Structure 1
Amino acid sequence: MSRIVLIKNARVFSPRDLGVCDILVAGEKIEKIDQGLTLPAEIGETVDADGAWLIPGLVDSLAHISGGGGEGGFATRTPELDPRDAFRSGVTTVIGVLGTDATTRTLNELYGKARALNAQGLSCYMHSGSYQFPVTTLTGSVRTDIMLVDSIIGVGELAISDHRSSQPSISELVRVASDARVAGLLSGKSGVISVHVGGCKGQLQPLFDAVEASDIPISQFYPTHINRNESLLEHGIAFARAGGYIDFTTSTTREILASGELRASAALRLALEAGAPAERITFSSDAQGSMTNFCDKGTLQDIEVGSVTSLFEEFRRAVREENVDFVRALQAVTANPARVLGLRHKGHIAVGRDADLAILDPASFDVHHVMARGRWQYFDGRLRFRGAFAGI
């Protein structure tokens, strides 16, 4: 029997402000948005939002869901993503990636973790590949990975301008992007290339050069960590103005901030003030990734673990501390990443879209309820999610 839930008297941000509405959810989808809706108790559940803000579930476009290899040696390998951390912070969709370590962390593991998270209520997709070139794949090629594996929507995170990168040539970047683009066209997916951008002097120039040397549109490349420093941010703003998407990382540490990184919230404000299109900026958490701080000579100074909860925290900070317009900040964690990733059923509140929803207290800006694919996973500040094993 389909689950039916009526959410009444919510101020709905789709992310556009729709005013106070009622939302009817049937199964995993949003069935109706209107005012004055009613639902008999014997048919389903009615929840009165009492004017609280209803937003789309957050879309985290980059997370190391199966854990990452720490650059401080095997003892610093990071743990897998716990779906409870996502639910309690309003995140309902995640994209899994490999990073520096594609030797002891494999695509097979990543695929298995993505399937597990899906079974646990999160919507989870993944990218083929890792930092390295040639691209590691499941089936033998980027094209068949994207076309034949439902979970795989693109490639990433391929590293450039970083001492940990394989230093791909412009022609190699073009070839990967071409394969991913064609596969995306044939399969109805984005075929996007998630690009890890390090702190080296090349910055985004390899991507500008790849676009200049080919017919690949700039929007096929999706560079992340653009808030790494002010110089890279300026390059990223130019990239967004040219028609590309840029992504700011929300996980950070005091040491990394002290070395010159900007908070994602501050980077968003600065980018908007500089004229970057609001619809071309996203946030991602880099959850479970190793948060590394290297000195100028490449020696590791500090290392911590990224957190999926940082995605909501930086969204809130953008509104409350950086005075970014609420809808523009919300776009960066909902509609914008859904668009660049080709997830047409995510990131919006609209009839026929997935019932991925979060209800916020407008006074405290805290998450009170979270629904993922039509099921309450977090309600009244308590997790409803239960793992397969008792106590986990």
Structure 2
Amino acid sequence: MPEKTFFTLIRHAHVYAPEDLGVTDFLIAGEKIAAMGSGVEAPKGAACRTVDLAGARVLPGFIDSHVHMIGGGGEGGPHTRTPELLLSKVTVCGVTTLAGLLGTDGVTRHVESLLAKARALETEGLSTYIYTGAYQLPDTPTITGSVRKDIVVIDKCIGAGEIAMSDHRSGQPSVQDYRYIAAQARVGGMISGKAGLINMHMGNGTDGLKVLFAITESGEIPKTQFLPTHMNRKRSLFEEGFAWAKAGGYIDITSGINPEDPGSEGAVKPATAVREALEAGVPLERITMSSDGNGSMPVFDAAGNPIGVGVGDEKTMFTEFRDMVEKEKLPIGQAIQVLTANVAKAMQIYPKKGTVGAGRDADFIVITEDFLLQHVWARGQQMVADGKPIVFGTFEPKE
């Protein structure tokens, strides 16, 4: 593991910020990028580690807006609950910032535990946020008893999620229930200066986005208050999202949903989904991607009975980023924007996060010419070197 210094000088980095800045140098001071430009130097006499990247590509660290930090699932019984997330399992995926949430189980999983886990991962080196609530409405779990109050008084809480819609596991709420929680999140966000975002789990039901259109048709609650996720889980939902995004909303593609996986045969491959959305006229800035990492990936039969379960993997984010460039022929700057700047803007943490530049958090990844993840820095600390984790969580076995 490299020796810790306050200053680190990165030489000859081909920076995509996400826009292509060409080959340049930048200086890390603590957790921030202090300066960027050819010939940048550390203060005279200061101890400084120098890393020469020899023209390797530097990209912003991935921002994963949908992670089950304390595990998820349980639809098949207690033994199908997924375990808690480990630090190095995040960093080796290129993820430097993540937002945690509950899911189906808002009974044995608690927002308080989620908050504690987010704080633990931040102490270990990442940047973390959380959503209050779970699938069910109107009695979604909170810490203070109010979604609005959680957002206002809990530092890490940026919104509510994962609220289920068009899914047999939801609380089957009314349109008014959805409208109420959206209003609570919106006002909480306004008071606290946060996004007040609703991370909306979209299921396989036939209603699709109908309720979201109904909630926002009056214009009182903007479409940007919602982040409907799993939009690539089936073709009809995905294509319905085109109109939503063109009208000003976001569509979130799940990197962990792939048509090659059992139970997802009707899904749209994530990298392909991004290209198709752009070809359909969806603005690039309205497309985001998240992993559903560490959540359960249940498989149901035709009657809705669970018949299998997997675990979401954040590594799919890098896989789909690579495929956007190599298979779908998107420019690197566009592909990385979907995983970084767009997400940061939806979460209202841009430009602190989601870009590489002077004054920004020093969160970035280094990739090879053949699209292998080489190095990862989070908040100025190198977490991965030569593809291997070099910083581990408190209770992780050291490799």
| Interval of TM-score (by shorter of Structure 1 and Structure 2) | over 0.9
Residue 263 of structure 1 aligns with an amino acid whose one-letter code is K
Matching residue within 280, 289, 296 for 2:295: 289
Matching residue within 109, 113, 119 for 1:115: 119
Closer, same or farther: CA 36–203 of 1 in aligned 2, 3 Å: same
Taking the aligned partners of 1:272 and 1:289, their CA distance within structure 2 comes to: 28
1:319 corresponds to 2:325: yes
Q: What stretches of structure 1 of length at least 5 have no aligned partner?
A: none
Question: Which residue number corresponds to residue 17 of structure 1?
Answer: 20
SS at match of 1:255: coil
C-alpha distance after superposition, 1:71-105 (max 9, x if no partner): 11111111111110211121100100000001111
Q: TM-score, normalized by length of structure 2?
A: 0.95
Q: 1:255 touches 1:293 (CA, 8 Å); kept in 2?
A: no
Q: TM-score, normalized by length of structure 1?
A: 0.96
Residue 288 of structure 1 aligns with an amino acid whose one-letter code is N
SS at match of 2:261: helix
Residue 55 of structure 1 aligns with an amino acid whose one-letter code is L
Q: 1:174 touches 1:214 (CA, 8 Å); kept in 2?
A: no
Q: 1:122 touches 1:372 (CA, 8 Å); kept in 2?
A: yes
Taking the aligned partners of 1:218 and 1:236, their CA distance within structure 2 comes to: 12
Taking the aligned partners of 1:389 and 1:208, their CA distance within structure 2 comes to: 45
Q: What stretches of structure 2 of length at least 5 have no aligned partner?
A: none
Taking the aligned partners of 1:171 and 1:216, their CA distance within structure 2 comes to: 13
SS at match of 2:200: strand
Identity %: 45
Question: Which residue number corresponds to residue 298 of structure 1?
Answer: 304
Taking the aligned partners of 1:298 and 1:390, their CA distance within structure 2 comes to: 37
Which piece of structure 1 moves more, 68-77 or 233-242?
Answer: 68-77
Matching residue within 364, 369, 374 for 1:357: 364
1:241 corresponds to 2:246: yes
Taking the aligned partners of 1:88 and 1:298, their CA distance within structure 2 comes to: 35
Residue 366 of structure 2 aligns with an amino acid whose one-letter code is I
1:278 corresponds to 2:287: no
SS at match of 2:353: coil
Which piece of structure 1 moves more, 30-39 or 231-240?
Answer: 30-39
Question: Which residue number corresponds to residue 36 of structure 1?
Answer: 39
Taking the aligned partners of 1:173 and 1:214, their CA distance within structure 2 comes to: 15
1:220 corresponds to 2:225: yes
C-alpha distance after superposition, 1:34-84 (max 9, x if no partner): 002234685211100100001111000100010013211111111111110
Matching residue within 139, 160, 166 for 2:144: 139
C-alpha distance after superposition, 1:131-182 (max 9, x if no partner): 0112211011111100110010000010000000112211111111111111
Residue 273 of structure 1 aligns with an amino acid whose one-letter code is E
Closer, same or farther: CA 181–375 of 1 in aligned 2, 3 Å: same
Closer, same or farther: CA 139–120 of 1 in aligned 2, 3 Å: same
Taking the aligned partners of 1:248 and 1:146, their CA distance within structure 2 comes to: 25
Q: How does 1:1-392 map to 2 (within 5 A)?
A: 3-39=6-42, 43-134=47-138, 135-213=140-218, 215-252=220-257, 254-256=260-262, 259-344=265-350, 345-361=352-368, 363-389=369-395, 391=397
Q: 1:69 touches 1:105 (CA, 8 Å); kept in 2?
A: no
Taking the aligned partners of 2:392 and 2:345, their CA distance within structure 1 comes to: 31
Q: 2:64 touches 2:99 (CA, 8 Å); kept in 1?
A: yes
SS at match of 1:240: helix
The alpha carbon displacement at 1:213 in A equals: 4.5
Q: 2:87 touches 2:392 (CA, 8 Å); kept in 1?
A: no
Which piece of structure 1 moves more, 340-349 or 254-263?
Answer: 254-263
Closer, same or farther: CA 130–389 of 1 in aligned 2, 3 Å: closer
Taking the aligned partners of 2:395 and 2:114, their CA distance within structure 1 comes to: 21
Taking the aligned partners of 1:391 and 1:203, their CA distance within structure 2 comes to: 43
Taking the aligned partners of 1:114 and 1:42, their CA distance within structure 2 comes to: 34
Aligned residues: 391
Moved beyond 6 Å, runs of 4+: none
Q: 2:242 touches 2:277 (CA, 8 Å); kept in 1?
A: yes
SS at match of 1:37: coil
Which piece of structure 1 moves more, 333-342 or 63-72?
Answer: 63-72
Taking the aligned partners of 1:346 and 1:194, their CA distance within structure 2 comes to: 19
Taking the aligned partners of 1:262 and 1:165, their CA distance within structure 2 comes to: 23
Closer, same or farther: CA 309–161 of 1 in aligned 2, 3 Å: same
Closer, same or farther: CA 69–258 of 1 in aligned 2, 3 Å: closer
- Across the aligned residues of Structure 1 and Structure 2, the Cα RMSD in angstroms comes to 1.6
C-alpha distance after superposition, 1:280-323 (max 9, x if no partner): 10110001111122233212233100011111111111111121
